[in-house]
Structure 1
Amino acid sequence: MDEQLFAELDRRLADADAALTTLYPGDRGVRQPIHTVYVPADRFTAGTVSEWAEQARAVLREHGGSVAELTEVLGLPADHAAEVYDRVRAKLEREPIEDLRIDFEDGYGVRPDEQEDAAAVEAARALAELVKGDAAPPYHGLRIKSLEAPSRRRGVRTLDLFVGELARTGTVTDGFVITLAKVTSLDQISAMMLVLGAVEQSHGLASGSLKFEIQVETPQAILGSNGMTPLPMMIRAGGGRVTGLHYGTYDYSASLGVAAAYQSMEHPVADHAKDVMQLAAAGTGVFVCDGSTNVLPIGQREQVHAAWRLHQRLVRRSLERGIYQGWDMHPAQLPSRYIATYLFYREGLATASARLRAYVEGGNSGYLDEPATAAALAGFVLRGLECGALDTTELDKLIGVDTAGLARLARRPLRS
């Protein structure tokens, strides 16, 4: 072909090429937590993480104190039950919470200004203590009230007080993130950008250092009045500050008229919303997070077991749909979260490893895997490594690549 044709193609597609690179940069190269734990601000102290861990371990001992018992209660496969059980117990000792959100929204409610002012400062000081003691979860932050008119000033004031206290103590970390509740318009994202810039400037933080998640719990976040979803434009308007889209199970279901008894992470309206969220976030590096179940593993033994079975099934369902994060609202949900997640990765390890080794070495696994599928397989193994379901010795033995090689296969940028 004439070289002039190629030059013309490059010219015509230059803007499209640039837009693709800018709008869809791909994986950010950072770990996605498998859950976000919400704790009401007035109940959060520097001891909360250790208290949650102890309560989670206690309920596991009381209602699933052995491999045999847990296998019977949750229907765990015999060939993975012991290794999952041991790894979950170790996780509850080592890193019981991966992502913590101190809640000043629905979990906290509406309080007098002086009361919320004091709570914001006190909670920030408690978080700072955890950070200084290297005891904070790898991801942590707060959820503020929405930028709707009735709660706008309160939400911004809480954010300013909270970040100001962290900045004063030098404890604003790379894992710090803000959740913006009940987003209803693209304009609110632009407003949030203005707020974050002002907070950074006020407290001497680097421009662009504060990140936030968009909580998707209103119909307007899924479908705008123009008949289009605003989520892609919201991500774009976030200018690199948006790290996640979090689904709000109960606000969203209620706003669509779903009766309370049927509000669930697996209701069709929930699936539709999350499908839209996944489409909007695909290729952007923005994480998608599922919601929560309000059926808690508390009370009599039968109630705990039934709630664990439900939670395990819902977590597994999300994982199979490609949503790798969800909300946990009670310490007793930690065992079922980790059991479901670890089982997902342990069960899939052998097949994923065999297919990856065959892809790398040019062998035959029984699958004709293309580069995109190899990237998905590598991403699966990486996620399992990051949460503790798998370990690096298995990586070397089963696949024959190190973590850096796995990251390259997963098309994930390497971070120092």
Structure 2
Amino acid sequence: MSAPASSADLVAELTADLDERLREADADLVARFPGDVPARQPVHTVYVPADAYDADLVPRWGEEATGAMAEHREVLADLLGVAAVEVLPLVEDKLAREPIEDLRIDFEDGYGNRSDDEEDGHVAAAAAALAASQAAGSAPPFTGIRFKSFEAPTRARGIRTLATFVDGLLSAGGSVEGFVVTFPKVTSVEQVEAMVHASERIEQTLGLDEGALRHEIQVETPQSILGPDGTALVARMIHAGQGRVTALHYGTYDYSAFCGIPAPYQSMEHPVADQAKLVMQAAAAGTGVRLSDGSTNILPLGSAEQVREGYELHTRLIRRSLERGYYQGWDLHPSQLPSRFAATYAFYRENYPAAAERLRNYLGKAGGNVMDEPATARTLADLVVRGLDCGALRPEEVADSTGVTAQTLTDLARPCRA
């Protein structure tokens, strides 16, 4: 090869050379780390045992949550402080309009072990009920089931529940749009590969489009975090999912128990939980896979003191998760919905004014006392978009404060490599 005649020729020659050398790496980066997805992420997932689910569950939970909020409004107002004036009316509206954002019908730990005939009956009833709620317009925007794991003792029952539920849902006129399967107690990359295989076969048999069945991996065993060779298997699990994995959900109590943490100290904020979630966060970064924290089993029920302690704990844990970039968690009882939305709304409204000002300055190149880089501007926009998605912020106030549309903010918050 002759020497280039000038630096311009050298640049052109090197660029072509590097493009060729890095062609496969470029394609691999886009495939494996495409960036976040623009779709809304729910702020919570509500788990209900399959035998307790019916088509009227969502409005019923909304009514019960509204009643709990009315009864304990002073407690919530005290915990929110000055934010209560703005936040509580928004929460009341949310509970009347959309009390559950994401619902998981549980055939696993929350349901227990039943005879095959009994579980089959609950599968059929729950599938028909979900289809009925979809037809009535009362289903949440996100739904799904959790079935038993692919470990050998429960594998046959798990796949039987998954296949027959999807079949029953479709046969009853239901849809798998917004439907996600929770894949529990994952202990190996091979189980995720098996889940992809099972999903493909179910889609082919039932006439679904390829990729219609999506799943979230429940990280509730240490084997998901640290494999036998010392590597973080959860990262490999995401990519083994071949684009079907939507989220990683931390399982508070199973994970803590596997690690030998005494029952009184099992918590979303225990050091073993933080260590696991930090690994999950790094593994999911840039993949488009979302993160969800776990749950607290301390409910705001009982005496006045117990109610206050339950709400205080729940709001504090939600705030802690949000500050650490975990925008979703689990709720187990209608009484937790007021604190879920109150704590979430307070977080977004508290941080919104500064975020809006910084975004306006950044987009308008107006300067200001904070010199934000593009990466930080993306997270500022993401905070605003999440606040809009859940109802903490109103579109008109965002447009007025930032000077741009919600779509512009979404494009800034969630760019895609592809």
Q: Which TM-score bucket, shorter chain as reference?
A: over 0.9
What SS is found at the alignment partner of 1:257? coil
Of stretches 364-373 and 246-255 in structure 1, the one that deviates more from structure 2 is: 364-373
Aligned to 2:348: 345
Large movers: runs of 4+ above 3 Å: none
Name which of 368, 371, 374 aligns with 1:368. Answer: 371
Deviation (angstroms), 1:305: 1.2
- The CA RMSD measured in Å over matched residues stands at 1.0
Could you give the per-residue CA deviations for residues 132-156 of structure 1, whole angstroms, max 9, x where no partner exists? 1111100001000000000000000
Given that 2:176 and 2:212 are in contact with CA atoms closer than 8 Å, whether structure 1 keeps it comes out as no
| CA–CA separation in structure 2 for the residues paired with 1:105 and 1:301 | 33
**Aligned partner letter, 1:33:** P
Aligned to 1:77: 81
What SS is found at the alignment partner of 1:77? helix
What SS is found at the alignment partner of 1:293? coil
| CA–CA separation in structure 1 for the residues paired with 2:44 and 2:360 | 30
Aligned to 2:35: 26
**Aligned partner letter, 1:288:** L
Aligned to 1:12: 21
Given that 1:167 and 1:205 are in contact with CA atoms closer than 8 Å, whether structure 2 keeps it comes out as no
Aligned to 1:177: 180
**Aligned partner letter, 2:26:** D
1:225-240 aligned within 5 A: 225-240=228-243
Aligned to 2:45: 36
Aligned to 2:106: 103
Aligned to 1:53: 62
Aligned to 1:163: 166
Of stretches 90-99 and 164-173 in structure 1, the one that deviates more from structure 2 is: 164-173
**Aligned partner letter, 1:59:** A
State whether structure 2 residue 253 is matched by structure 1 residue 247: no
1:263-302 aligned within 5 A: 263-302=266-305
Given that 1:139 and 1:177 are in contact with CA atoms closer than 8 Å, whether structure 2 keeps it comes out as yes
Given that 1:99 and 1:137 are in contact with CA atoms closer than 8 Å, whether structure 2 keeps it comes out as yes
Aligned to 2:224: 221
| CA–CA separation in structure 1 for the residues paired with 2:245 and 2:376 | 27
Could you give the per-residue CA deviations for residues 115-134 of structure 1, whole angstroms, max 9, x where no partner exists? 00010010011111111111
What SS is found at the alignment partner of 1:121? helix
Of stretches 3-12 and 308-317 in structure 1, the one that deviates more from structure 2 is: 3-12
Aligned to 2:396: 393
Could you give the per-residue CA deviations for residues 268-318 of structure 1, whole angstroms, max 9, x where no partner exists? 000000001111100000011000001011111221111000000000000
Task: Structure 1: give runs of 5+ residues left out of the alignment.
Answer: none
* Number of residue equivalences: 407
TM-score scaled by length of structure 1:
0.96
Percent identity between matched residues is: 55
State whether structure 2 residue 203 is matched by structure 1 residue 194: no
What SS is found at the alignment partner of 1:100? strand
Deviation (angstroms), 1:163: 0.2
Given that 1:84 and 1:343 are in contact with CA atoms closer than 8 Å, whether structure 2 keeps it comes out as yes
What SS is found at the alignment partner of 2:322? helix
| CA–CA separation in structure 2 for the residues paired with 1:251 and 1:161 | 27
| CA–CA separation in structure 2 for the residues paired with 1:55 and 1:408 | 37
Given that 2:234 and 2:283 are in contact with CA atoms closer than 8 Å, whether structure 1 keeps it comes out as yes
Could you give the per-residue CA deviations for residues 180-226 of structure 1, whole angstroms, max 9, x where no partner exists? 11000000001111111111122111121000010000010000001
Given that 1:121 and 1:162 are in contact with CA atoms closer than 8 Å, whether structure 2 keeps it comes out as yes
Could you give the per-residue CA deviations for residues 79-117 of structure 1, whole angstroms, max 9, x where no partner exists? x21110000000000000000000000000000000000
**Aligned partner letter, 1:339:** A
| CA–CA separation in structure 2 for the residues paired with 1:37 and 1:268 | 25
Task: Structure 2: give runs of 5+ residues left out of the alignment.
Answer: 1-6
Aligned to 2:261: 258
| CA–CA separation in structure 2 for the residues paired with 1:12 and 1:49 | 54
1:303-318 aligned within 5 A: 303-318=306-321
Deviation (angstroms), 1:7: 1.5
| CA–CA separation in structure 1 for the residues paired with 2:249 and 2:68 | 28
State whether structure 2 residue 176 is matched by structure 1 residue 148: no
Aligned to 2:4: none
Deviation (angstroms), 1:8: 1.4
| CA–CA separation in structure 2 for the residues paired with 1:383 and 1:63 | 27
**Aligned partner letter, 1:150:** P
Deviation (angstroms), 1:170: 3.2
What SS is found at the alignment partner of 2:122? helix
